[in-house]
Amino acid sequence: MSKQTRRKVTFALVMGLITTGIVSFALIAINIGFSQRFAMVWLKAWVIGYVLAVPAILLIAPRLQALVDRLVP
């Protein structure tokens, strides 16, 4: 695996961790509030979001970057 590929995968892992953590926290807080179930519901949602987000970042990001490069010279 090249250094560039390792950097992209590492970026996707870290970006996925941060964004899914923030978004799942906010949505669970809004929808169920800070109840006794909050931590478990949040962690479950975070894991599911993370598993979905990382492959999406890896698959969509290169195409999106190419589109942005074409739109913004």
In a domain? residue 63: yes
Q: For residue 20, with 0-12 CB atoms within 10 Å meaning exposed, 13-18 middle and 19 or more buried, which class applies? A: buried
**Domain region containing 26:** 21-71
In a domain? residue 32: yes
In a domain? residue 1: no
In a domain? residue 3: no
Q: Residue-wise pLDDT tens for the chain (73 aa)?
A: 899 889 989 999 999 999 999 999 999 999 999 999 999 999 999 999 999 999 999 999 889 999 999 999 8
Q: How many domains does the chain have?
A: 1
Give the chain's length: 73
CA–CA dist 44, 48 (Å, integer)? 6
> For position 1, what pLDDT does the model report?
83
pTM: 0.80
In a domain? residue 6: no
